[in-house]
Every structure is written in structure tokens, then in C-alpha cells.
Structure 1
Amino acid sequence: MKKYKEKFRYLDARLKISFVVVCILSFLLVLCLDREWIFPEGFWKIAMIFLPLLLVGFTYLWIWKPYRRLTNQVQRFSDGYISLADLTDVEVAISPEFERMARHMNKIITATRTLDMSKRQAQYRALQNQINPHFLYNTLEGIRSEAIIAGLDNLADMTEALAIFFRYTISKVENLVTVEEELENCATYFKIQQYRFGSRIHLEIEQDEEDWDDILHCMIPKLTLQPILENSIIHGIELKLDEGKVTISISRTKSRLLIKVSDDGVGMNRETLDKLNAKLGSKEEEVKNYTQPEKGGVALVNVNNRIHLLFGEEYGMHVYSLENVGTSVELSIPVIYNENELKKKEL
């Protein structure tokens, strides 16, 4: 009974049923008129009066009235009084296909609004976190100058690297940057870390010579690689007793940019790995509820969420790891050369 009730929520099903009923009644009427002896003549007079009234009342209550109610809802949506989600949550819908289309459109609109909100929040935080960046840069430049005068070349170089890193992280508010810019920021970050770890850590960039110039001009979300590089150093190599290496390799297919950040650190056990990949595979609404993820989970989930928001759920991140062997973080994003291509994808 519940199955049929759900089926008759749709006007297209009601129209089909009404058409079948009218056809059957018309056939029976013609058949019975051909055999007048079945019913007396007075019966047909009454039937010819009440049957059309019955059909009109049935059509009005079962089809026309719900149709007008649905039309009013669509009009209210067009006028901006209700949302698309309210339009999908109606007692009677036009058809299952229309309902699926409305729900799909609602997901697209919701995702677009979430992306716009995230952009505005990111820009607000960038502005908020600047705290007069010129003061910060001037202070660092002052420290660097004093270090050069005192002959402390290492301190001067470290201060300069820190200023470059802050300038990229704080001042640039773009959503997308080129692969070349992101790799330069990784090199700057790695240089800062080398002052701490010395020769214990190494960074290698694997280049695909054939497509490398093309790859460098591809655009990716800002601060995609540096947080992963940081995780590799802090949660992988730092815990080793001997030297360790992080390798960044980037290749491309016709439509996708494939990035892999690997380290030969301590790795992680199967349980930790499964939990992390489960978080990366979850929807953004579910992921944001995690407050204390395992090793580096916050940075990886953040990067993965931004990829989902910008490009869609079909792109993102997956982690592979073996305990005492190392960890690889693999990313897949679309090949894009300017932000206009991203706007076209959003449309």
C-alpha cells in the first residue's frame, strides 16, 4: 500500500491512471449501450448525468488541485520566497525525473554557495591574519640586515626564507596558483626546515621532462603541497633515527594532474591508515566534525576538502602507507591553466 501511495505522489502517474480509467469506462459504456437490456433506460440517463460530474470531480481533486498547488510553489520559488529544497519537499510532484532533477540542482546550488562562503571566509581570514604584513616584513628585513652586519649568514638566510614564506602564505589571497609557484613555496619551506634538521632531511622533485614546462603552468589550489610536505617531515621523517627523504612527483594525463608526495619515514599502521582514508572519503559535512584526527589529519583533510569544493567529489586525495617503510599521499585534480576554466566547470 505504501509503495502505491508513493507512486501516486507524481502527477504523471495520476494522469496515466486517469487516462486508463476513462478508456475503460468509455469502453464499458459503449458495450452496455449496445446491449440496452442489461440496464433500464432510466439508468443510462442518470449515468450520463452523474458520470461526467464524477470524472470532473475526480480530475479536479486528484490532478488539477495538486497541479495548481505545485504551480504556486514553483512561482514562490521563482519569486525567491522559498528555496529549491522546499520545492523538492512537496506532497505531490510532477514526476520522479523532475524530483531528481530538482534535488540534483539543489546539490549544485548548495555546493556553489558553500564554495562562495569558503572563498569569502578564506579572504576574510587572509585579511584578518595579515595584521599589517608590511610591519612583519620590515621587521624580518631588519633582523636580516642586523644578521648580515654581525656576519650571521645562516640567520640572515633563514630570516629571508621566512619572509618569502610568509609573503606567499599571507599576502597572496588567490584560490589557484601555478604548480611552479607552489613548488617554489615548498622549496622555501623546506629550506627553513633544514635549519632545524640539517642534513637529516632531503627533498627531491621528480620531473617529467616531456611535459614539465606544461605541468609548471597548470594551476592548483594554493597551499596544496606545503601542508603535505610538512606532514611528511613532522610525522614521518622526524620520528626516524637516521636520514629521510621526501619526493614530490607530478605527472599529467589528458584531463588530470596526478601528484604524489612520498616519504621514507616511519609510516603508519593499518588501523590509522584506514581511519585517515575514511575521513578523506567522507563528505565535507561529516569531515568537519572531526576535531582530533590522527597524525596530520587536519592538514590533509583540509587540503582534500578544498579540492572537493573547487573541483568536485571525483577529485581528491588518497593515502598509502606501510609501517616502518613510508607514506605516499596521492592527489588527483583536473588540468586547469586559468581560473576562467574553473568558473566554466562550476557552471
Structure 2
Amino acid sequence: MKLRKISFHNVKLSNKLLIMYFFAVFIPIVLTNITFYHVTIENVKKQQMQDSKLALQQITNNFGRIVDEAVGISSSLYTNSNINSFLEKDFITDIDYIDDYNTYIRTFNQSSPINPSINSIRFFTDNPTMIYSGGVYLITKEIKQLEWYKQVSLGRTTGPIMIHSPASIDSRTFAVIRKLDYFNFNNKEKIVRIEINPANIKQIFENVTFKGDLFLLNDEGEIEYSTKKGLNWLKKPLKYNQISYPDNTVTINTKIKDRTYLHNWKVVGAISEKTMLETVNDSGRFIILLACINLLLPTVIIIIIARSFLMRLHRVLKHVKRMKNQDFEIIDGQEFKDEIGQLTIEYNRMSKKIKELIHDVFLANIQKKDLEIKRNRAQLSALQSQINPHFLFNALETIRMRSVIKQEMETANIIHNMAKIFRNSLTWGKDMVTVQAEVKLINSFLEIQKYRFGDKLDYKINVDDVALDRWIPNMSFLPFIENASIHGIEPLADDGKITINISLNNGLLTCIVMDNGAGMTIDKRNQLLSSLEKEEEIGENVGIKNVFYRLKLYYGNQFDFELESKENKGTKITIKVPEKLKGKFVATEDREKKLYFIK
């Protein structure tokens, strides 16, 4: 078997353009934008991670700075001999205490710069000769039971100790506590407690660009402060590793370095990838929008250019194909200067030359042949008129059966419907039919029209059950449906619809035929209604006039006909006839119904 050689020249021009567009425009643009999108996403992710680390480092530095300020103040008090002497002195009178208090404690507070990060400075001593007020407190039994006192009193180091303490029910602050034992005259126990302003702590952890949850952890991994809502870290110790996060959570941590009093303390940040990628998603949407623009603009330009020559090329090809049927119609329209325009000009010139040649050389022979053909057609028509119509029905039935055998059911169904319509139109002895038989004929006709028009036509038939067995003249409604299909729906481009409603109310059989087709002007409607009243003139609309006259003959003044139509809006025809004629039906042996009028 010889393989057929594949050639690109056998591909349609429209398909060639589609291939060129797909491989030269669509795929490169899509791949470029996908690559650009992934590169941008990765860069934004890295930038977001770097920004989060910088924000966390800023929190760590700011917290360490506040603690350093409190430690610095504790160091100055630790080496202040005047304050240490004041706390060691045994006062004989209250006046002596007040004078020394104003001299050392009050003077120290006034001379020291105001630091907004420090909430309070408190001195604790077991000196019984002092008046305990104004920041000086007695070390009572209750204080000795507190955890911070035990840490200071039992501590082996002279350095400051960092502890947390409740600022309120819903918040916590931190305090730097130091034992004042620098000098040798340590006859009494002296402790200074410097509390950090909780508002500054809150501002450090909440007024940052970090978009996740923050945790301040001590050397044992317990949460000392957190911005995460719903945690019970204020009321009882809670370790960070007891908190569960989704798998897509990114954790960042920084240690507070170079501080012995904050040894192994660190700040941990937990942020979900979804939150981190909010900026990435915004960038992604922008990239997608840019990609759509980059794809849409070339697509529109290519479509416009392709339509510019494909439509004209198809028009030339259509006229060339007509030549085989001796149709040498000239291509109308503006003459253009591109290659297709030159091809159109040359085609018109060739068509004119062929017409002249046919007219000059073959006209006489054609006239002679035409007379001979007409004579043969007359003989053929005479012969055909003698053929029994049943031959046509048998031929159609044969074609239908062969279609069924080949499983071409749609073709078989259409041929079957055509046969039923032909048989009905040629069987003139059957004057009266039931509404049900008429509806079947209408349905057969509409199925043929549906096969012809495709999706352009849609129809719906609504019939009351009580009306199905009523008798009417044969083909009373079908011509109106045919008129709606041909004159109403056929001019439309799409979305054509025909609706038939047949009902029985108060002894009247009503048929309403509606379409959304081309309709007619008021003048044309009035002209049609006027022509129906002139029975001696048939002229145009033979089918409608014929059925109109037949119904009027059967029913006389009891027949009602209404026509409503608007141009480009559709047409509505209403036919009303009595439920029964003034007569009776008698069944004959061949089961046909004949009508006998009662005078």
C-alpha cells in the first residue's frame, strides 16, 4: 500500500493561519508569562521572608533596648552611695527621714531624665526606721513569699534579674530587680525593682510590619508575651511547643544576644503562607492581567487581518465554483489593490469574456437545444403524470428502510415525515380529520423544517386533551404553520421559534400560531386581510387564502380569523371554529368519516 505524501499545501488557509497563530503567538506568550509569573512569585516570596526577618529583628532590638534602659538605671542605683546610705541609715525622727528622702530619693528622681519606657522605680528594705511611702516599701513576710524575692535573695549573682509581673488582668509587664549590695556597709537588706511600661511592650510587638503571630519566649521556652489571640498564657505557664499550627505556617525566630539577664530569650514569629503570599497574589493578578492584554491584542489584530483576506478569498472561490453551473456573476464591491483585489478584478474580466463568448458563439445552439429540452420535458411530464402516486410512497419507504438499516435514523425520520405529508396532500377523498391527526401532520412538517434549519428553529405544540378527538377540515392549520416557517423564521439568522396552542373552551376550538419571525408592516397586514375578503382573486398567499375560503365555506359566520403582526417582532394568527359542525358523522365500511349536513 502506497503511503500518501503529506503536504502542507493541502491544509486550508484558515487552518494554516490558526497553526501559525498557535505556535508563533499563543504558545510563546503563554510560556513567557508563565515563566515570568513563577520567577516573580519566587522573588516576592524571598522578599517577604526577608522583610519578616527584618521586622522580627527590629522587635528583638527594641525589646532589648527597653530592658537595657531599665538595667542601666538599676546599675546606676546599684553604685549610688547616697541612696545606699539612705536605705542603711537608722532615722531617729520622722523629720530626719523626710529631710534625707527629699535630699536623696526625690532629688534623684528630679535629676534623672524622664524615661517613658519605665513605669515605676520601687525600693524594698527591712529598715524599720523608715516611713514606707513615695516608692519605698518594707520587706514584709508576704513579700518574702513572692517568687521574685526568692530569686533575688537566693541568687548567687549580683547582676539584675529579669522577671514578669501582672500589669492588669489582661496584660503583663516586665521588671528588672537587683539587690543593692555593692558597698561594704550592708547591714540591711535593700532591693530595687524597676518596672517597664507595659504600653511600650505592647507597642513594640503590635506596631510592626510583621503580619503573623509574635511570641516572646524565656530560656525555658515559656511564653512571656504573645500577640496571638485566644491563648491562656497570662494565667498559667504555657510553652510554645504546645501550640499547634497548620503545615503551611512559616516560623522565624531571633535570639536576644549579648545579655546575661536575657540568656536564651528569643522572639518567635509564626506567619501562614497565605498571609505572606497576599502581596504575591496581587502581583499574580497583575501578571495575569498583563498576559491577557499581551494575548488579546495580537489575537484581535490577527483576526482582523485574517478576516480582511479570508472573507474576500472565500467570496472569489464561491463565484469560481458557480462557473461549473454556467453562473458567471460579477463580484460586486470596491476594488482593492492587494493580491486578492487583483484576483477579483481578473475574475470579473474573465467572467465578462466568457459571457461574451457564450453569447456570440453558442447562443444559436443553446436556443435550439432549449426547444428540444422543453419538448422532452413536456413528454416526461406527461409520462410522469401517469405514474401512480403509490410508486412515490413505495420509493420513499424503500429509502427510509435503507436509512434505518444503515442506522441513519434522522434521515429515515425525515423521509417518513415527507411521505406522510405527500400521502395526506394527495388523498383528497378525506375531507375531515381529527385534531390529533392534524397535529401529527403539523409535527411531521415541523420536524422536516427543524432538519432543514437546525438550531435556527425551535417549536412547541400545546394541545388540550379534550380537543384531540374533535373533527376539523383536513389541513386547516398546517398552511398557517408553513407560512410562519417560510415567511417568518427563514429570514432570521437564529433563535426562531414557533408556538402552536390548540384549546377547547365554551364550545369553541381555538388554534393560535405564533412566531418571532420577520413579521410584516401595518400596510402589508392590512393588504393581506383585504385580499382575503376578495374571493375572486387568488394572487399571492395561495395556501392561506385557500384554507381561509375552505374554513369560511364549512363554518360560515361562525369562523373567526385574527392576524396580529409587527415588523421584526413576529406574527400571531388566531383561528376560532365551533366545536361541532351543524351535521353528523357516519362511519362507512372503509372507516373514513363523511359529513352529512342537516338542513
TM over 0.5: yes
Letter in 1 for 2:397: E
1:58 aligns to what? none
Using the TM superposition, give the Cα deviation of residue 136 of structure 1 relative to its aligned residue in structure 2, in angstroms: 1.3
Q: Supply the distance in 2 between the matched residues of 1:144 and 1:185 (Cα, whole angstroms).
A: 18
2:359 aligns to what? none
Q: Supply the distance in 2 between the matched residues of 1:130 and 1:318 (Cα, whole angstroms).
A: 42
Using the TM superposition, give the Cα deviation of residue 337 of structure 1 relative to its aligned residue in structure 2, in angstroms: 7.6
Q: Does 1:262 align with 2:506?
A: no
1:305 aligns to what? 549
Instruction: Give 3-state SS (helix, strand or coil) of 1:290's partner.
Output: coil
CA 1:129–1:177 in structure 2 vs 1: closer, same or farther (change >3 Å)? farther
Does the 8 A contact of 1:248 with 1:259 survive in 2? yes
1:193 aligns to what? 449
Letter in 2 for 1:218: R
Using the TM superposition, give the Cα deviation of residue 256 of structure 1 relative to its aligned residue in structure 2, in angstroms: 1.8
CA 1:153–1:272 in structure 2 vs 1: closer, same or farther (change >3 Å)? same
Which of 459, 468, 474 is residue 203 of structure 1 equivalent to?
459
Letter in 1 for 2:516: D
Using the TM superposition, give the Cα deviation of residue 132 of structure 1 relative to its aligned residue in structure 2, in angstroms: 2.0
CA 1:241–1:346 in structure 2 vs 1: closer, same or farther (change >3 Å)? farther
CA 1:308–1:163 in structure 2 vs 1: closer, same or farther (change >3 Å)? same
Does the 8 A contact of 1:162 with 1:192 survive in 2? yes
CA 1:184–1:343 in structure 2 vs 1: closer, same or farther (change >3 Å)? closer
CA 1:217–1:130 in structure 2 vs 1: closer, same or farther (change >3 Å)? farther
Using the TM superposition, give the Cα deviation of residue 266 of structure 1 relative to its aligned residue in structure 2, in angstroms: 1.0
Q: Does 1:233 align with 2:499?
A: no
Does the 8 A contact of 1:240 with 1:265 survive in 2? yes
C-alpha distance after superposition, 1:285-335 (max 9, x if no partner): x323232x3xxx222111110011111134142211011111011111111
Which of 537, 562, 572 is residue 289 of structure 1 equivalent to?
537
Letter in 2 for 1:264: N
Letter in 2 for 1:250: I
Matches within 5 A, 1:125-164: 131-164=387-420
* Larger CA Rg, structure 1 vs 2: 2
2:501 aligns to what? 249
Instruction: Give 3-state SS (helix, strand or coil) of 1:203's partner.
Output: strand
Instruction: Give 3-state SS (helix, strand or coil) of 2:499's partner.
Output: strand
CA 1:148–1:264 in structure 2 vs 1: closer, same or farther (change >3 Å)? same
Q: Supply the distance in 1 between the matched residues of 2:499 and 2:549 (Cα, whole angstroms).
A: 23
Which of 198, 201, 213 is residue 465 of structure 2 equivalent to?
213
* TM-score for both structures, normalised by structure 2: 0.33
1:319 aligns to what? 563
Using the TM superposition, give the Cα deviation of residue 151 of structure 1 relative to its aligned residue in structure 2, in angstroms: 4.1
Unmatched segments (≥5 aa) in structure 1: 1-127
Letter in 1 for 2:469: H
1:124 aligns to what? none
Using the TM superposition, give the Cα deviation of residue 344 of structure 1 relative to its aligned residue in structure 2, in angstroms: 6.8
Q: Supply the distance in 2 between the matched residues of 1:169 and 1:328 (Cα, whole angstroms).
A: 25
1:336 aligns to what? 580
Does the 8 A contact of 2:583 with 2:598 survive in 1? no
2:280 aligns to what? none
Unmatched segments (≥5 aa) in structure 2: 1-383, 586-593
Q: Supply the distance in 2 between the matched residues of 1:343 and 1:221 (Cα, whole angstroms).
A: 10
Larger deviation, residues 263-272 vs 131-140? 131-140
Instruction: Give 3-state SS (helix, strand or coil) of 1:288's partner.
Output: coil
* TM-score for both structures, normalised by structure 1: 0.55
Does the 8 A contact of 1:304 with 1:316 survive in 2? no
CA 1:215–1:150 in structure 2 vs 1: closer, same or farther (change >3 Å)? closer
Instruction: Give 3-state SS (helix, strand or coil) of 1:313's partner.
Output: helix
Higher strand share: 2
Q: Does 1:277 align with 2:521?
A: no
CA 1:156–1:251 in structure 2 vs 1: closer, same or farther (change >3 Å)? closer
Using the TM superposition, give the Cα deviation of residue 206 of structure 1 relative to its aligned residue in structure 2, in angstroms: 2.5
Does the 8 A contact of 1:217 with 1:337 survive in 2? no
Does the 8 A contact of 1:219 with 1:338 survive in 2? no
Instruction: Give 3-state SS (helix, strand or coil) of 2:523's partner.
Output: helix
Larger deviation, residues 239-248 vs 330-339? 330-339
Does the 8 A contact of 1:203 with 1:245 survive in 2? yes
Q: Supply the distance in 2 between the matched residues of 1:344 and 1:289 (Cα, whole angstroms).
A: 30
Q: Supply the distance in 2 between the matched residues of 1:174 and 1:130 (Cα, whole angstroms).
A: 22
Does the 8 A contact of 2:456 with 2:493 survive in 1? no
Matches within 5 A, 1:20-35: none
Letter in 2 for 1:270: I
Instruction: Give 3-state SS (helix, strand or coil) of 1:164's partner.
Output: helix
Aligned-pair identity in percent equals: 33
Instruction: Give 3-state SS (helix, strand or coil) of 2:584's partner.
Output: helix
Does the 8 A contact of 2:582 with 2:597 survive in 1? no
CA 1:326–1:130 in structure 2 vs 1: closer, same or farther (change >3 Å)? farther
Using the TM superposition, give the Cα deviation of residue 154 of structure 1 relative to its aligned residue in structure 2, in angstroms: 2.6
Aligned-residue RMSD, C-alpha: 2.5
Letter in 2 for 1:225: F
Q: Supply the distance in 2 between the matched residues of 1:346 and 1:232 (Cα, whole angstroms).
A: 36
Does the 8 A contact of 1:133 with 1:171 survive in 2? no
1:125 aligns to what? none
Q: Does 1:184 align with 2:440?
A: yes
CA 1:129–1:176 in structure 2 vs 1: closer, same or farther (change >3 Å)? farther
Q: Supply the distance in 1 between the matched residues of 2:415 and 2:513 (Cα, whole angstroms).
A: 27
Q: Supply the distance in 1 between the matched residues of 2:596 and 2:495 (Cα, whole angstroms).
A: 46
Q: Does 1:223 align with 2:479?
A: no
1:56 aligns to what? none
Larger deviation, residues 262-271 vs 217-226? 217-226
CA 1:271–1:176 in structure 2 vs 1: closer, same or farther (change >3 Å)? same
Q: Supply the distance in 1 between the matched residues of 2:563 and 2:420 (Cα, whole angstroms).
A: 30
C-alpha distance after superposition, 1:99-152 (max 9, x if no partner): xxxxxxxxxxxxxxxxxxxxxxxxxxxxx9895232111111121233334443
